[in-house]
A and B are shown apart, each in its own frame.
Chain A
Amino acid sequence: MPTRRLFIVMAAAASLLASSAAFSQEKSIVVASTTSTQDSGLFGHILPLFKKKTGIDVRVVSQGTGQALDTGRRGDADVVFVHAKRQEEKFVADGFGVRRYPVMYNDFILIGPKSNSAGINGTKDIVAALKIVKSNGAPFISRGDKSGTHAAELRLWNAAGIDITKDRGAWYKEIGQGMGAALNTASASNAYVLADRGTWLSFKNRGELVIAVEGDNRLFNQYGVMLVNPEKHKHVKKELGQAFVDWLISAEGQKAIADYKIDGQQLFFPNANAPGA
């Protein structure tokens, strides 16, 4: 009988929807973060420790810093954990975040081909290196996605006295994608690219790429964390979200961050207590 069959199908659909409602657990928060914290494997290391202690399930949506802040602004996350201090301060000043806490830092590095096509490999001065990249027209991949790394890259071009929005050529390619995609593109085209060290260390498809420039103070990369303002978005889980923020900057959370290593190399350096970080 067709009608009976139809009834069975509808009952099955109803039970499926009901069971999918069971996906939502009570103790969970959504954290909007960057691709670097996720792709580097940091969250895979620290979140199980946090869950073990508090029972809170942290759901990380990894995006570029600009997009992650926007997710917080829309109220689609409880906590934002990103790396672009100026934008974070604006986020708090605009009332979208409660307060910004510094958490940790690592550094940016300029990645380039082993063949040293621009002759800058092994140098330390990032601004001088970028000037040479430009004058040589050496291929350069830009994230172009308003991420923290993209913001840092634009700052460095600016420091080199180059207006990259006007002063670009075929050598400069904006791909509008995440760090991993940018590294894949650079690897395929032997181009230079600015990357965060964490993603680079965990990146597997390096091809002919090596670290070209590192160790400049201007390559410093600070991460900060903020609870999304419950006064703007009432549904924000403020207790659970604040518990995560507090844990990250606690001695225990800071140690968990410092303990994360790949091949014996530490990826992120905790500095919650550093003044002005």
Chain B
Amino acid sequence: MPENVSALQLVLAGDPALYAIVRLSLIVSLSAVLLAALVGLPFGAWLALSRFRGREGAIVILNALMGLPPVVVGLLVFLLLSRSGPLGSWGILFTPQAMIVAQTILIAPIIAALARQTIEDLWLEYRDELQAMNVGTLGSVVTLLWDGRFSLLTALLAGFGRAAAEVGAVIIVGGNIDGFTRTMTTAIALETSKGDLPLAIGLGMILIVIVVLVNAAAWGTRRFGERMAG
């Protein structure tokens, strides 16, 4: 990024480096949300419906995993993807793909745990009806996920918030490479270390605005969808 400018000037001037950073942040975090949702929503719903020995323990562990420290996830993914690690042949350490992998692992438990709670509440309402209609577990999972889709949006937003805000994992597996793996949060860390605190704060403000915009878009979609669904 150019020297001696404020974040506001960068926004107003349409600085290409800044927009590339914002774009990468959104691509990485939204991809992670999508992948984590594909795993987390069905798993959360299945856990809500199933009854097995040790289920309570599984729920406690899943809830605890919501607090996974990003830096630990970053380190584990780093060790996996390093050339000297088991998945080294993939050659994706220090790339955006590695960042997506790390954030997916970080937020999948959040989405699964929140989905589990939402679906379980819904299940109490639907159980008699679904059982009377003789719908199996898979059918129930699909029905509940679909009927709970607007409430589940909150779970996705919680995952997105965590992904967009974290720096510990992406900086380790992405390497904060200029123009390639630099995101909003790693750029803020870098500008802080360069002592350019006003620019760092400015970038922080931009990040907050982006997160608010994404949430507003999700809220708008929900309202629109609810009206369409009647």
Task: List chain A positions with a Cβ less than 8 A from chain B.
Answer: 2-3, 5, 9-10, 12-13, 16-17, 20-21, 23-24, 30, 35, 39, 41, 43-44, 57, 59-62, 74-76, 177-181, 183-184, 187, 202-206, 233, 235
Contacts and interface: CB of A to CB of B under 8 A. Distances in A.
B197 interface: yes
Given A16-B34, A17-B31, A23-B95, A181 B193 contact: yes
Interface string B167-182: 0000000011110110
Interface string B73-110: 00000000011100010010111110010000000000
A44 B194 CA distance: 14
Nearest to B96: A23
A20 B27 contact: yes
B192 to A, nearest CB: 7
Given A3-B142, A39-B194, 15 more contacts: A16-B31, A20-B27, A20-B31, A20-B96, A20-B100, A24-B95, A30-B175, A30-B177, A60-B178, A75-B82, A76-B83, A181-B192, A181-B193, A184-B195, A204-B196
Interface string B144-173: 011000000000000000000000000000
A9 B83 contact: no
Nearest to A17: B31
B177 A75 contact: no
A184 B193 CA distance: 7
Contacts of B142: 2-3
A44 B181 CA distance: 15
Contacts of A23: 95-97, 180
Contacts of B27: 16, 20
Contacts of B194: 39, 180, 202-204
A144 to B, nearest CB: 15
Contacts of B10: none
A2 B34 contact: no
Contacts of B197: 204-205
Contact of B94 (A35, A61, A177, A180): A61
B180 A183 contact: no
Given A13-B38, A74-B82, A61 B176 contact: yes
Interface string B183-203: 000000010111111000000
A39 B193 contact: yes
- Interface pairs A-B: 5 shortest CB-CB: A180-B193, A205-B195, A75-B83, A61-B175, A204-B195
A61 B93 CA distance: 11
A13 B100 contact: no
